[in-house]
Structure 1
Amino acid sequence: MPLFQRLRNWRKNTISAYILKAFKKALPPMSSTEKEAIEAGTVWWEAELFSGRPDWQKLMGYPAPSLSAQEQAFLDNEVQQVCALVNDWEVTTQDLDLPEAAWQYIKEKKFLGMIIPVQYGGLGFSAFAHSEVITRLSTRNSALAVSVMVPNSLGPAELLIHYGTPEQKNHYLPRLASGQEIPAFALTSPWAGSDAAAIPDSGVVCKGLWEGEEVLGMRVSWDKRYITLAPVCTLLGLAFRLYDPDGLLGEQKEIGITCALVPRDHHGVEIGRRHFPLNAMFMNGPTRGKEVFMPLSFIIGGPAMAGQGWRMLMECLAAGRAISLPSSNVGMSQLAVRTVGAYARIRTQFNLPVGRFEGVEEVLARMGTNMYASNAVRIMTAGAVDLGEKPSVVSSMAKYHVTEHARSIVNDAMDIIGGKGICLGPSNFLGRAYQQIPIGITVEGANILTRSLIIFGQGAIRCHPYILKEMQAAQEADPVTSLDSFDRLFWQHIGFSTRNGLRTLASGLLGARIFTLRHQAAPETMIYYRQLTRLSGILAFMADITMLAMGGSLKRREKISARLGDVLARLYIASCVLKQYENNGRQQDELSFVHKALQQCLFDAQTALLQTCRNFPNRAIGLLMRLVSFPWGASFSAPADALDSPICEQLMQPGSTRDRLTANCYLPTHPEDPVSAIEQALVYAIKAEPVEAKIRQDEKNGLFKNHPDANVRDIARLAFDMNRISAEEYELLAIRNRLRDTVIHVDDFPKDLRNPAAFMNIRNTCQGDRP
């Protein structure tokens, strides 16, 4: 036997066997549903970020998502048309639902069948097209976006496409595509909440009557809530635990989570009353059933897929979550940034547009930067789905951080528009968005749990090149095979960790310039690739140390897990920003957004790493990690103030940059629409600024001193009467003032707000004829 083999056998039997025994003890207990959740989906770019040495050439090689001619035409026509059919104020105040004309149009134009293949009568759109549509709809009305989004996300159509029997596909998919069937999917239980795997809803395999014959079926009981589209659905997807106590299907008594399709009119199905989700007015409510008999043919995929429901859900959830909530929240963010950027130029205080104040400038720049980063994440993540990925970890990061960015953006927007934002009415373009922000934070996994349990908890296992393989090796039934595989993987892991630790120390001492790049990066962004590579190495190093030191207890150390997850997420967001900059052709007018977004990501990642070291349970290990990772102390600073002004200038004036950054916004043409009014008022506000400056100079020179009309409301008329401005200039100011007053107008109502009709009886207090 060769010496190398003898040494390996000695190592395996004397060292690795002991480590394997300790490793098995340290492994946290894992249920079958947890195992399926961890192993579900695919690993994509996040694995590179976890490797310690991401291949940036690989990132730049991913194709930029694009729309086909058919998809672009749909966005330009059908999507525009359906937006025009919906009035946000009427939906949320008067109709409490989408208008019938909008529902009919959605069905006729196959909005509910975007993901259904053409062969079944659907549109067969790409994930990117799906994302573009949802983003545009979200800038118009939340109920509109959600009503289209949910049937195209996790639900009956997607599950049928992947797992349905030929008979189920041929029957249901054409009906879903045409809108003959409205789907809902019932997963969430009042007693399980975000722990969907713990659903108590159950069914028992038994015999019963179906269409006059005795057949093998299930008697199912369920109680679900928060089910979107349940009040209007015709086809209910249902997740429950299936049991076979009499062994009618085989020896297995507990079959497991199963997914079935149940027609709404099936005997025993109960659709409850309606939930009221924060004025969003999309259809949402509970559903129940008590010992409802249904044949086994109701199971998605037929009897062969009984017990496979959790795997089905986990495999499909990633794609839906990667598109639905990131898209809808980016739409909300783009609307807020576009309208508030214009408002900050239109609205003046102390004879100055409010956007020129440094305090407002800081907030508006933060809004624009978060929007740019969120949109980059949305596009890259949707592109991953089109590449065939089911990115479970990436979708969690996208869901959490895009919805949190949207919360920050809308909150900042409300600060800027002030009293205008807190008084609801048809002229308030942001109030409903502010109310509805918590919906995205809550659904498809509460954000707190997504951050503290899922991103790193799942990411560390799935993205790490060795952890999952070591766990699988440790669970091998054959002890010889188990030890052999574990020995090989463990020592490869040790080499991986050692190299990362040495690179981390070297880059900390010598700086990120020690890393060489294999792709042709833009000179203005070159340094960011190197700095992100350094942070990737630190993350890989700290993650290994943390998992080694804490073992199974890391599952309970949610704050440590959350911070390491934040680092992975910031690396992903930064990657998306760099990719977006390249995909857009390195537009120089985007550079301020790019610099600020990337510097913020670096700073936030560093903060999370340092907090991990500072709060590590073992102080000595925490100190060691900090000294290796940041030997000279913190390396990255928060973004410079100088970046704010150019960002705000781009957001406060019409132009190609503003249009490109908010390209998904629906821009209505009706002059009374608040968004349309803002667009018009911005143009005239800028045109009027030279005339306004002339009047202000005369005022400074004392020309209007002590005159009673020398006030913000009447000074234009005074300047005209004194021949200081021409008739054309006065008319320009008159138009500007009319549009400005429309924008800053706040609606009022009769005193009896308890009467719903009062909300539709609005007295316009704008004095439109006053310049």
Structure 2
Amino acid sequence: MILWLVLFVAGALALMMMRAGAWTWLVAELAWIWIGGMTDQANAVACVLLAILLGVPTLLVAIKSVRETLITRPALDIFRKILPSMSATERDAIEAGTVWWDAELFSGKPDWDKLMRLPPPALTAEEQSFLDNEVTQLCAMVSDWDTSVVWQDLQPEAWQFVKDKGFLGMIIPKQYGGKQFSAYMHSQVIMKLSSRCSVAAISVMVPNSLGPAELLLHYGTEEQKNHYLPRLARGEEIPCFALTSPYAGSDAAAIPDIGVVCKGMHEGREVIGFRVTWAKRYITLAPVATVLGLAFRAHDPDHLLSDNAEPGITCALIPTSHPGVVTGRRHWPLNAVFQNGPTSGENVFIPVDWVIGGQAQVGKGWRMLMECLAAGRAISLPSSSVGFSKMAVRGTSAYTAMRRQFKIAIGKFEGIQEALARMGGNLYMMDATRRLSSLAVDAGEKPSVISAISKYHVTERGRMLVNDGMDVIGGKGICMGPGNFLARVYQQIPIAITVEGANILTRCLIIFGQGAIRCHPYVLKEMAAAADEDHDRALQDFDKAFFGHLSFVAANMARSLVAGLSGGLLASAPNAAAEETRVYYRAVARMSACFSLLTDVSMFVLGGSLKFRERISGRLGDVLSQLYLISATLKRYEDDGRQSADLPYVAWSVQDALHRAQEAIIDVLENFPNPFIAFALRIWMFPLGLSFRKPSDRLASEVALAMQTPGAARDRLVVDAYQPDFSTDPLGSGEHAFNLLPQVHEIEARLKQSVKDGVLPAIPQSLIEMRRWNARAMEQGLISVDERVVLDDFAHYGNLTVQVDDFDAGFDMKDALQKGQAPEIITG
């Protein structure tokens, strides 16, 4: 009897995972009953009862006409009643962009081979040359200290260099005079600039992200492209795009900026256009822009354009020199002091030809913006966050390896190692996510959900990373000056958190709210069928989607249980995966099935109210996000050639993300409105208990040690970040001294016996005193001239790194800023 029942359970799970059709189920059920009868596991009466209980419902589902009448039609009526209302802007946001690897993670059975087949991101020879030369030159011209304290902007020669060298036209095709760089190259440029100066990165980033050039490329008329794109590429025009209003930051439907269709005079003739009134805030480059991209809500009360309904949100390009356009005033964004400010206008007449795309695109602006933002969000802020994080990791890890306390380097203390491990693990995963998201854009995708995941989680991990760095370097981090590599970044972190969709909004509404509909293989089809006014077609389409959905849920129920009972061993992993990472692929596949199951149950239980249960949807989004971050990390490990020295970074970041995903699932279940369903789901998904633990202390120490060891592994962690000149820059000095450490340790190890014998005093903790110790060792004949140079260089440049900037007591910072003077600084 037990074997017969086990056969039933095993067969049912197998059919669920195979997503077998109703007729296959019917045959399997009858075969199982027949086996029971033939082996005396069930008598004739029992066999008949089982055939009725199992076979009749299955038969009803198998016969399409019966199924549609008894099941599909009532289900469609219920679905139409519980389907949440959706505004036009919400629909545009959901339908904008494309789905990619996020859909695989939603499937419960990700196709790993699809990910593995993607080529590693790479630069062309032209792109590499630009990165090595022009981008490096710009980095050398600027710094966070100079832009924030001395200039409150890029200095004039840096602005001119940006224009002359084509930084503002990186995404513009060569036929218009642009660079036509890839998305990955765009990301590389922004990352490298951000590792040096946030103002430079932002000033370059915005024209190449969500701005007039991007919109013109996709939607502009040929006349608009031919006029503006060459001028933008040459830097003759500086663009900005004005979307945000003080009263409608994230709610586009509430944009108060109005353009009324009317007739007016333009260039001596009467034309149809708009009389536009707007008041925008937080517009990057607005104070210096020469061309203003403007989003407003169009009204056509006299039906001059169309007899249809009101046209809606519209995007136009307006020269800032046009009468009535007000720009020039500035906001002061947290000492990043990039050009950012308000713009306004009252009853400004513009011709309809200034609408991006012309009259045909009137009212289609919101969809245009959402599709462009889907790509831009994947590049700009993730790249800038990775850039400043690489700078923070480089500076902090070097500092901890050189700074001595209690006669040992502070990087050997476990408390410091705990923070360093978080920094290193987070950076490895952040950079992997940036690379994979850029690859998606270069593959032709406009990955709306993935871009939201990248923006939110890379900026949040960047915030954690910089906070850890500030904790480690302590007092040096809180004293402003050119030698402080973290203070300005620490101040500016909220900018990345806020712009291009504030992170709270992104997490609670976009990642899961959009992903649950777009990435799910059936929900959007069910919604489309429910909205179809052709009843016969709607019934057929809904029948196919609804029963496909039920099969999908059943498959993920089976996968999550089987994977849970096997500890993940029976979950899928790619054949080409490295043996050392295969366990992580299986873990992601298992969690993908659990996530998909939990998503479907949540949508079923909460229905339309899930839209407003932001804490639950936010946590579900967290699960999807962590699975994407892990996928990116595993892909990076493969792309980098399976470098064994990088395994501590891989293991720490993946284990941390798996634990976060598991905790998010538990948080959903503990706050689920139906505790009985929540309890059943927890037992079903984690039958052997919670599986994923935080990274161990031993692993954290391995990561911290790798970060404090000069060599290829650490170089890969901070690859392509700007390395300043060690003779003129404190951060460069620290890196130079850090690279001398292996030689210094070797010399000191050899001299320990001389210290024990009293020939030399103890190795000093202070790098200032180290030079005298070096001289003593030289006098005793214990080191060579070359070794003395190494030790002296280490003492000198290491001391520059450790020192804290200070100023003359009579220095008046406010007065100097007004005069544009830099302070005289003593760096030790």
Q: Do Structure 1 and Structure 2 share a fold, with TM-score over 0.5?
A: yes
Q: Which residue of 2 aligns with 1:761?
A: 823
Task: Tell me which of 456, 465, 468 is aligned to 2:521.
Answer: 465
Work out the CA distance in 2 between the residues paired with 1:651 and 1:155.
38
Task: Tell me which of 163, 170, 182 is aligned to 2:226.
Answer: 170
Work out the CA distance in 1 between the residues paired with 2:827 and 2:648.
41
Residue deviations 1:506-545, cap 9 Å, x none?
2212221113445321111111111111100001111000
Q: Which residue of 2 aligns with 1:565?
A: 621
Amino acid at match of 1:204: V
What SS does structure 1 have at the residue aligned with 2:313? strand
Q: Which residue of 1 aligns with 2:115?
A: 59
Equivalent residue runs for 1:302-317 within 5 Å:
302-317=358-373
Amino acid at match of 2:340: N
Range with greater deviation from structure 2 (159-168 or 526-535):
526-535
Q: Which residue of 2 aligns with 1:193?
A: 249
Work out the CA distance in 2 between the residues paired with 1:218 and 1:258.
11
Q: Which residue of 1 aligns with 2:807?
A: 749
8 Å contact 1:710–1:718 — kept in the other structure? no
Tell me, yes or no, if structure 1 residue 104 matches structure 2 residue 104: no
Q: Which residue of 1 aligns with 2:793?
A: 735
Say if 1:522 and 1:732 are closer, same or farther in 2 by CA, change over 3 A. Answer: closer
Q: Which residue of 2 aligns with 1:430?
A: 486
Say if 1:146 and 1:202 are closer, same or farther in 2 by CA, change over 3 A. Answer: same
Work out the CA distance in 1 between the residues paired with 2:98 and 2:567.
33
Q: Which residue of 1 aligns with 2:204?
A: 148
Equivalent residue runs for 1:552-701 within 5 Å:
552-669=608-725, 671-693=727-749
Q: Which residue of 2 aligns with 1:717?
A: 772
Work out the CA distance in 1 between the residues paired with 2:75 and 2:61.
19
Q: Which residue of 2 aligns with 1:299?
A: 355
Work out the CA distance in 2 between the residues paired with 1:160 and 1:710.
60
Q: Which residue of 1 aligns with 2:30?
A: none
Tell me, yes or no, if structure 1 residue 391 matches structure 2 residue 460: no
Residue deviations 1:59-101, cap 9 Å, x none?
1011211111111111111111111121321111011111111
Equivalent residue runs for 1:109-128 within 5 Å:
109-128=165-184
8 Å contact 2:103–2:519 — kept in the other structure? yes
Tell me, yes or no, if structure 1 residue 50 matches structure 2 residue 106: yes
8 Å contact 2:774–2:791 — kept in the other structure? no
Amino acid at match of 1:186: A
1:716 Cα deviation from its structure 2 partner:
6.3
What SS does structure 1 have at the residue aligned with 2:693? coil
Say if 1:360 and 1:9 are closer, same or farther in 2 by CA, change over 3 A. Answer: same
1:735 Cα deviation from its structure 2 partner:
2.9
Tell me, yes or no, if structure 1 residue 238 matches structure 2 residue 300: no
Residue deviations 1:458-489, cap 9 Å, x none?
11111110001101110111222212211221
Say if 1:754 and 1:283 are closer, same or farther in 2 by CA, change over 3 A. Answer: same
Range with greater deviation from structure 2 (756-765 or 410-419):
756-765
1:730 Cα deviation from its structure 2 partner:
5.2
Task: Tell me which of 497, 510, 514 is aligned to 2:566.
Answer: 510
Tell me, yes or no, if structure 1 residue 364 matches structure 2 residue 420: yes
Range with greater deviation from structure 2 (427-436 or 149-158):
427-436
Task: Tell me which of 50, 54, 70 is aligned to 1:14.
Answer: 70
Work out the CA distance in 2 between the residues paired with 1:240 and 1:169.
21
Task: Tell me which of 253, 258, 276 is aligned to 1:202.
Answer: 258
What SS does structure 2 have at the residue aligned with 1:312? helix
What SS does structure 2 have at the residue aligned with 1:578? helix
Say if 1:646 and 1:184 are closer, same or farther in 2 by CA, change over 3 A. Answer: same
Amino acid at match of 2:125: A
Residue deviations 1:652-678, cap 9 Å, x none?
232222222211211122512122111
What SS does structure 2 have at the residue aligned with 1:755? helix
What SS does structure 2 have at the residue aligned with 1:515? coil
Alignment gaps of 5+ in structure 1 = 767-771
Equivalent residue runs for 1:431-450 within 5 Å:
431-450=487-506
Tell me, yes or no, if structure 1 residue 215 matches structure 2 residue 271: yes
Amino acid at match of 2:526: E
What SS does structure 2 have at the residue aligned with 1:525? helix
8 Å contact 1:33–1:310 — kept in the other structure? yes
Say if 1:21 and 1:709 are closer, same or farther in 2 by CA, change over 3 A. Answer: closer
Residue deviations 1:409-446, cap 9 Å, x none?
11111111111111010111111111111110000011
Amino acid at match of 1:764: I
The percent identity for this pair of structures is 54
Tell me, yes or no, if structure 1 residue 534 matches structure 2 residue 590: yes
Amino acid at match of 2:824: I
Amino acid at match of 2:793: I
Tell me, yes or no, if structure 1 residue 409 matches structure 2 residue 465: yes
8 Å contact 2:807–2:826 — kept in the other structure? no
8 Å contact 2:397–2:707 — kept in the other structure? yes
Tell me, yes or no, if structure 1 residue 377 matches structure 2 residue 433: yes
Task: Tell me which of 31, 42, 45 is aligned to 2:87.
Answer: 31
Say if 1:709 and 1:632 are closer, same or farther in 2 by CA, change over 3 A. Answer: closer
Q: Which residue of 2 aligns with 1:520?
A: 576
Q: Which residue of 2 aligns with 1:289?
A: 345
Residue deviations 1:691-737, cap 9 Å, x none?
444666665667789x9999886476368558384474555433322
Work out the CA distance in 2 between the residues paired with 1:461 and 1:444.
22
Backbone CA RMSD of aligned residues:
2.1
What SS does structure 2 have at the residue aligned with 1:239? strand
8 Å contact 2:140–2:724 — kept in the other structure? yes
Work out the CA distance in 2 between the residues paired with 1:572 and 1:99.
40
Say if 1:588 and 1:545 are closer, same or farther in 2 by CA, change over 3 A. Answer: same
Work out the CA distance in 1 between the residues paired with 2:228 and 2:617.
42
Task: Give me the TM-score of the superposition, normalised by structure 1.
Answer: 0.96
Amino acid at match of 2:801: V
Task: Tell me which of 363, 370, 380 is aligned to 1:324.
Answer: 380
What SS does structure 1 have at the residue aligned with 2:311? strand
8 Å contact 2:102–2:519 — kept in the other structure? yes
Say if 1:715 and 1:396 are closer, same or farther in 2 by CA, change over 3 A. Answer: closer
Say if 1:165 and 1:747 are closer, same or farther in 2 by CA, change over 3 A. Answer: same
Say if 1:763 and 1:521 are closer, same or farther in 2 by CA, change over 3 A. Answer: closer
Residue deviations 1:244-275, cap 9 Å, x none?
00111121341100000000001110115100
Residue deviations 1:116-144, cap 9 Å, x none?
00111101111111111111111110010
Work out the CA distance in 1 between the residues paired with 2:799 and 2:498.
37
Task: Tell me which of 348, 353, 363 is aligned to 2:404.
Answer: 348
Alignment gaps of 5+ in structure 2 = 1-22, 24-58
Residue deviations 1:627-655, cap 9 Å, x none?
11011210111112222233223222322
1:685 Cα deviation from its structure 2 partner:
3.8
8 Å contact 2:626–2:661 — kept in the other structure? yes
8 Å contact 1:270–1:288 — kept in the other structure? yes
Work out the CA distance in 1 between the residues paired with 2:437 and 2:743.
40
Q: Which residue of 2 aligns with 1:769?
A: none
1:681 Cα deviation from its structure 2 partner:
1.5
Say if 1:765 and 1:605 are closer, same or farther in 2 by CA, change over 3 A. Answer: closer
Work out the CA distance in 1 between the residues paired with 2:456 and 2:566.
34
Q: Which residue of 1 aligns with 2:56?
A: none
What SS does structure 1 have at the residue aligned with 2:569? helix
Task: Give the number of aligned pairs.
Answer: 764
Work out the CA distance in 1 between the residues paired with 2:765 and 2:205.
54
Kindly name which structure, 1 or 2, has the bigger radius of gyration based on alpha carbons: 2
Work out the CA distance in 1 between the residues paired with 2:178 and 2:822.
38
